[in-house]
Structure formats: structure tokens, C-alpha cells
């Protein structure tokens, strides 16, 4: 129920006094509307305030809630790369996570890197020094034999004994194949030299001369005169065994050198080497042209002595390259000894020693 007592009183007062009523009437309308805007305005203001406050607080809360997770997500890969990596971070973040590890390794490995560099540089320096030394040694050999190799590996192979090869390498990497080739090249060149130098000699005489000039002892003499003994590459053998082995294979190495020259420079180069080192020997043979065992036996029979007896004194060297020392005996004479790669070769050397010592005539032909 609405209380209108105040309006009634005002109307009555206006009727009693016109001036006072007018004043009261003027005051009444002005005072009346005040409660209305106050009642109506309060809810609106509160609503707006609450709306604004809620909107702002929600906006701030949402902004903070959105900003904080983003910041945390972005900060985690930078501050904790290990946890990010373990939780399966996306592939795009992989390089960013790996970057600190690379940096850490770069700080931890400089010493190792420097050490490896020093080791590599030392190894390369030693390799270069070895190559320089080998090149100088090859140049000295080339100067002595009178041929400069276009393929230095041929020269190196010609001086490599099978004992110097590693287990992984084949025997063909030693001088043996070159020796086989050089033996036949030498025979061809010397045959040509004999044919041109002795036009009146028959086939028998030429064959005897050829046999003497191409024998292992003749080749060993040539190699010794060129100073090739110490250039032979051997494996792990004792000093004494190495010296004996070098002497025994010296003729083989000489033939291998001829084969290497033939492969490197052809027939002309090989012929030049043989002519320089065999021409003098061809015109002045130093050993009997006939087999020394035959010469000694004929001489012994002429003296009324029995047939010479040959006996093995010693066998040395590895199984694949043995060395035999053989002595020859005749009654009333001191034994003579010879060394060779086979029993027959050693017997020939022993017979030659006895022939030279006893001054047997008719064993040589100066032709």
C-alpha cells in the first residue's frame, strides 16, 4: 500500500496559503523524483560495475592464464633441454635442444681435438719422411744402374724378398715374378750380343758362352759391382742369416732388376743395362766355360785319382729358401767348399774353388 499522507498534507497547505502552497508545490515535484533515479540508478550502476569488474577480472584472468602457460612452454625448452628432449619435444625444437650439447662438447673436446691433430700431423710427418727417404734411396739405385724409372714401384718390387712381405700379400709381390722375366730377357740379350760379337763361333761354343754369362754367379757379380747388396729388403731375420741370405739371392735380384727395367723402358733400356755390365765379361770370361764338375773329374782321372766325392756339410735358411754348403774331396788334397741355393749349385761352386786353387789348366777358354 502506498503512503500518500505527505501529498495530502501538501495539498492542504497549498489551499490554506497560496504562496506557501506554491512554494510547497515547487518543492514537492523536485523532491519527489529523487528517490526514483536513486532506486533505478543503483541497480544499473551495480550491474555495470559488476559487469565491468567481472569482465575485467575475467579478461585479466584469461590473459594471465593464457600468458603464463605460453611463457612456461616457451621457457622450458630453453631452461631445461634435457626434460624437453625426454618428453618427446617436437622435431622443430630438436636442433634448439641439441645446440647446448654441441656447445658443451665443443668446450670439453678441444684437448682431444688438438691431441688428435697432433697425432695425425706426427703420423703424416713420419709418412712424408719415409717417402722422402725411399725416394732418395731409389734415386741412388737408379743412378747406379743407369735407368730412371717411370714406375718406381717396379724398382721397389725388384728388391723385395718374399720374407719381407706381410701375410696378407701374395708371393707375387716379391721379386720372384720379375726374376723369371729378367732371366729370359737376359738370355735373349746376351744371345744377341754373342751372335754379333763372335761371327765364326759355332752353336756349341755360343751355348757354352751363354751358359757362363747368364749363370747366377755372373749375375751376382754384376749386382755386387753395382752395390745392390744392401738394397735388398728382407723380413725379420738375424744379422748373420740376413747377410747369407742377401748373398744367396743377389743373382736373383739382378735378374729381377733386368725384368723391371724391361717392363718400365722396354727392350732398348734393358739391352743398354746388359751391354754396359756384360760386354767386358763376354770378351774375358772369368770362369771355365765347361761345367766345373766335369773339368775337375777329367783332371782327377788324368792324375790317376778317383772320382771327386761331394758331401753336404750344412743346410741353413728357411724352408722356402734353403742354403746348402757342400765340400768336395779328393785323396791327397784339402777339401774345397761351396755354397748355393741347391746341392747341385753348391757342388759346382766347390769344384770351381778346387780348380782355381790347384791351378787346373784347360778349364777356361778365353776364345
Crossing angle (nearest 10°) for helices 110-145 and 239-283: 30
Q: In what helix (H) or strand (E) does residue 142 lie, and over which residues does it extend?
A: helix 110-145
Residue 166: DSSP 8-state: -
Q: Per residue, what are the HEC states of 103-138?
A: HHHHHHCHHHHHHHHHHHHHHHHHHHHHHHHHHHHH
Measured in degrees and rounded to the nearest 5, phi and psi for residue 327 equal -115, 145
Helix-then-strand count for the chain, H and E? 13, 3
Residue 343: DSSP 8-state: H
Which residues have a catalytic role annotated?
Answer: 183, 255
Q: In what helix (H) or strand (E) does residue 331 lie, and over which residues does it extend?
A: none
CB 282 within 8 A of CB 367: no
Dihedral sign computed on CA atoms, order 309, 311, 313, 315: positive
- Beginning with the edge strand found earlier in the chain, give each strand of the sheet holding 323-329 in spatial order: 309-316, 323-329, 336-340
- List the one residue out of 77, 96, 233 whose CA is nearest residue 165: 233
**338 alpha-carbon distance from chain centroid:** 45
CB 367 within 8 A of CB 285: yes
Amino acid at each position: 500500500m502506498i503512503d500518500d499522507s505527505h501529498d495530502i498534507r501538501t495539498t492542504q497547505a497549498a489551499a490554506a496559503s497560496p504562496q506557501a502552497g506554491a512554494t510547497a508545490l515547487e518543492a514537492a515535484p523536485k523532491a519527489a523524483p529523487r528517490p526514483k533515479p536513486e532506486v533505478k540508478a543503483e541497480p544499473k550502476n551495480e550491474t555495470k560495475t559488476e559487469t565491468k569488474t567481472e569482465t575485467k577480472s575475467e579478461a585479466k584472468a584469461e590473459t594471465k592464464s593464457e600468458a603464463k602457460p605460453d611463457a612456461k612452454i616457451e621457457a622450458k625448452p630453453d631452461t631445461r633441454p634435457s626434460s624437453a628432449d625426454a618428453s618427446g619435444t617436437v622435431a622443430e625444437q630438436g636442433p634448439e635442444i641439441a645446440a647446448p650439447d654441441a656447445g658443451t662438447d665443443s668446450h670439453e673436446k678441444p684437448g682431444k681435438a688438438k691431441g688428435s691433430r697432433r697425432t695425425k700431423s706426427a703420423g703424416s710427418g713420419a709418412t712424408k719422411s719415409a717417402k722422402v727417404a725411399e725416394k732418395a734411396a731409389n734415386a741412388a739405385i737408379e743412378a747406379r744402374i743407369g735407368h730412371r724409372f717411370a714406375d718406381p714401384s717396379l724398382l721397389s718390387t725388384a728388391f723385395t724378398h718374399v720374407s719381407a712381405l706381410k701375410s696378407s700379400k701374395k708371393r707375387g709381390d716379391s721379386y720372384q715374378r720379375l726374376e723369371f722375366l729378367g732371366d729370359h730377357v737376359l738370355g735373349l740379350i746376351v744371345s744377341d750380343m754373342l751372335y754379333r760379337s763372335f761371327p765364326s763361333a759355332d752353336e756349341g761354343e755360343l751355348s757354352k758362352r751363354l751358359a757362363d754369362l747368364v749363370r747366377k754367379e755372373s749375375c751376382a757379380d754384376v749386382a755386387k759391382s753395382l752395390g745392390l747388396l744392401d738394397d735388398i729388403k728382407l723380413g725379420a731375420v738375424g744379422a748373420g742369416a740376413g747377410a747369407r741370405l742377401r748373398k744367396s739371392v743377389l743373382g736373383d735380384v739382378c735378374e729381377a732388376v733386368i725384368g723391371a727395367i724391361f717392363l718400365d723402358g722396354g727392350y732398348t733400356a734393358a739391352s743398354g743395362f746388359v751391354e754396359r755390365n756384360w760386354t767386358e765379361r763376354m770378351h774375358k770370361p772369368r770362369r771355365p766355360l765347361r761345367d766345373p764338375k766335369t773339368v775337375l773329374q777329367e783332371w782327377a782321372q788324368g792324375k790317376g785319382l778317383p772320382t771327386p766325392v761331394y758331401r753336404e756339410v750344412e743346410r741353413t735358411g728357411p724352408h722356402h729358401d734353403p742354403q746348402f754348403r757342400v765340400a768336395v774331396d779328393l785323396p791327397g788334397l784339402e777339401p774345397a767348399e761351396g755354397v748355393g741355393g741347391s746341392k747341385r749349385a753348391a757342388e759346382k761352386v766347390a769344384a770351381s774353388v778346387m780348380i782355381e786353387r790347384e791351378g787346373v789348366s784347360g778349364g777356361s777358354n778365353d776364345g
